[in-house]
Amino acid sequence: MEKIATREAYGKALAQLGEERADVVVLDADLAKSTKTIDFAKRFPERFFDMGVAEANMVGTAAGFAAAGKIPFCSTFAVFAAGRAFDQIRQSVANTRLNVKIAATHAGLTVGEDGSSHQSVEDIALMRSLPNMTVFVPADAVEVYGAVRAAVNINGPVYIRLGRSAVPILHDQGFSFTPGKAVKLRSGNDAAVIACGIMVAEA
């Protein structure tokens, strides 16, 4: 079974989106090679902003872009996006319902190589607690493409949770991503198993 990291798919989807939408800008916190926003940066350097190791400033800048009519995608590791910049997301993005998209990579426990300081296990709980915030946790590369396209069409804040490691592709290319809709992958009569993100393949 083919495997692709959801962060890899994000980079490609974002670069495609840049071809179609001149109002999309991308901000990163000095992690473009890891978050894969480097794909967008190479193609559209005039719309890419490396904010350095300053996640709170990145989110505040993104709020300014959104207030000026742009559609900013912010990227960093999930532990920094949801943790370090939580106050700025809460006050400057969620409460004001600004059109900021936060795509956080290296989420969950699978970043074992980076140590426990980088293992974000609370980011979904933090983001879903915010007003006006839509949360997407794609299970594979195909869902990532759908999530990025859905995010740009939602007028308001969106959090997209992405992983570091390669995961199996579960859907064919004809899959239609619908926000808020569960997808049944297998039928049975003994139990209901519900999962999101990288745990879908495991489940």
Residues carrying an active site annotation: 55
Among residues 61, 135, 120, 71, the alpha carbon closest in space to that of 92 is found at: 61
Q: What residues form DSSP beta bridges with 30?
A: none
Distance of CA 44 to the CA centre of its chain: 19
H or E stretch including 64?
helix 55-67
Report d(CA 92, CA 113) in Å as an integer. 33
Residue 151 DSSP label: H
128 by DSSP, 3-state: which? helix
